[in-house]
């Protein structure tokens, strides 16, 4: 607890000194503010993901030597490096704070350009060189523009397209539960199956990232989607709230502090449009979020919550087979439109 409080204070979140060493309301508030600012799920608790984010937030640019290694270096220093390289016109790819091959290539390219040894190591001299050249103008980095351009070139057909479908949660972590006892983990799987059926019928090549029973870690699901070479990813969850009247659909895509995935955002917008216009679900809109699955996958990815499992009426819908088929139709329709077919079709 002392470590958590020390990290929060070091990052500028005020922790009540009276709560020294114990998790009181002031600490919870600081955790919530941290989660809000980092665009995480805000629950006021220190789960493993929030803890990793606290650690990553503690690395400032130049604090440590960075290079391509496995497991990858992760942290805010990596994100700053990616942002600097992108702003200078080198292609470090998405600013996700994970030092991968693309960041390595961009760093070597930068070193070559300024006449430094191309060793791919971010140490003292390269840090200094980057700081000297740091552009003053803010604005979207070139990586974001590049991803938008790639989007325009996307093939105009769903035929054979690899689509990763994640059924949120599972047997280990069932996720949120409704008043009648439905859990996200149990309910998301049949939705994922229905979506795969619908996508296959349209010629796509879908795969679900877990079985009905198991519950792989989020990083393993992300790796599976990357290795499959998925062109898009759709993760299915359900929303929850303390208020049983909370209702409607929301969709999330990867984004944080000045960088968001244009592809993810486009797909999220299409999904929202389909779910709200065809099914009359309340529009909870699209939002950038730094969810681990969205961050660790390399393709446009969305996390969709078609409705609230904690709302008795919507929980009943979740259990209804025809609602499930309709949601699957909407999601598949959005994916197909994402692949270039602009006009919505009839149905469901």
DSSP, res 5: H
Q: How far is the CB of 215 from Zn ion (least distance, A)?
A: 12
Closer CB to Zn ion, 68 or 246, in the complex: 246
Q: How far is the CB of 173 from Zn ion (least distance, A)?
A: 9
Closer CB to Zn ion, 122 or 222, in the complex: 222
Q: How far is the CB of 239 from Zn ion (least distance, A)?
A: 8
Judge whether 103 and 78 are in contact, CB under 8 Å: yes
Judge whether 339 and 156 are in contact, CB under 8 Å: yes
Q: How far, CA to CA in Å, does 257 sit from each of 38, 161, 261, 308, 338?
A: 8, 31, 12, 28, 25
Phi and psi at 274, nearest 5°, equal -65, -50
Phi and psi at 167, nearest 5°, equal -90, 110
Closer CB to Zn ion, 273 or 305, in the complex: 305
Q: How far is the CB of 311 from Zn ion (least distance, A)?
A: 15
Pairing of strands 301-305, 232-236: parallel
Closer CB to Zn ion, 84 or 177, in the complex: 177
Helix, strand, coil tally for the chain in percent (to 5): 45, 15, 40
Closer CB to Zn ion, 184 or 296, in the complex: 184
Q: How far is the CB of 79 from Zn ion (least distance, A)?
A: 25
Q: How far, CA to CA in Å, does 174 sit from each of 149, 233, 322?
A: 39, 21, 23
Closer CB to Zn ion, 219 or 345, in the complex: 219
Closer CB to Zn ion, 175 or 216, in the complex: 175
For residue 60, count CB atoms less than 10 angstroms from its CB and return exposed for 0-12, middle for 13-18, buried for 19 or more: exposed
Q: How far is the CB of 237 from Zn ion (least distance, A)?
A: 3
Footprint of Zn ion on this chain (CB under 5 A)?
168, 175, 184, 237
Q: How far is the CB of 40 from Zn ion (least distance, A)?
A: 13
Question: Which residue minimizes CB distance to Zn ion?
Answer: 237
Pairing of strands 259-260, 205-208: unpaired
CA 119/CA 99 separation, integer angstroms: 14
């Amino acid at each position: 607890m002392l470590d958590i409080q020390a990290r929060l204070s070091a990052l500028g979140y005020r922790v009540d000194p009276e709560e020294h060493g114990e998790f009181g309301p002031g600490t919870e508030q600081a955790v919530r503010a941290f989660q809000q600012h980092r665009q995480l799920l805000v629950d006021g608790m220190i789960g493993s993901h929030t803890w990793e984010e606290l650690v990553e937030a503690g690395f400032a640019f130049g604090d440590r030597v960075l290079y391509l290694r496995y497991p990858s270096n992760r942290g805010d220093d990596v994100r700053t490096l990616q942002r600097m390289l992108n702003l200078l016109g080198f292609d470090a790819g998405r600013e996700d704070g994970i030092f991968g091959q693309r960041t390595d290539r961009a760093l070597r390219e930068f070193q070559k350009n300024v006449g430094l040894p191309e060793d791919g190591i971010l140490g003292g001299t390269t840090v200094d060189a980057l700081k000297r050249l740091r552009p003053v103008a803010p604005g979207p980095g070139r990586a974001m523009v590049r991803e938008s351009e790639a989007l325009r070139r996307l093939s105009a057909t769903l035929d054979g397209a690899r689509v990763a479908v994640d059924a949120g949660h599972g047997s280990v972590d069932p996720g949120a539960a409704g008043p009648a006892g439905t859990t996200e983990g149990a309910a998301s799987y049949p939705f994922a199956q229905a979506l795969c059926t619908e996508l296959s019928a349209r010629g796509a090549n879908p795969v679900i990232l877990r079985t009905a029973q198991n519950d792989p870690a989020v990083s393993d699901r992300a790796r599976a989607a990357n290795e499959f070479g998925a062109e898009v990813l759709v993760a299915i969850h359900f929303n929850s709230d303390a208020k049983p009247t909370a209702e409607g659909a929301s969709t999330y895509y990867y984004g944080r502090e000045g960088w968001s995935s244009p592809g993810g955002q486009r797909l999220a917008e299409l999904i929202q449009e389909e779910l709200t216009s065809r099914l009359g679900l309340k529009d909870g809109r699209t939002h950038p979020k730094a969810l681990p699955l969205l961050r660790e996958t390399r393709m446009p990815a969305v996390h969709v919550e078609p409705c609230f499992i904690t709302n008795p009426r919507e929980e009943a819908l979740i259990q209804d087979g025809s609602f499930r088929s309709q949601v699957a139709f909407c999601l598949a329709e959005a994916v197909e439109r994402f692949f270039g077919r602009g006009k919505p079709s009839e149905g469901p």
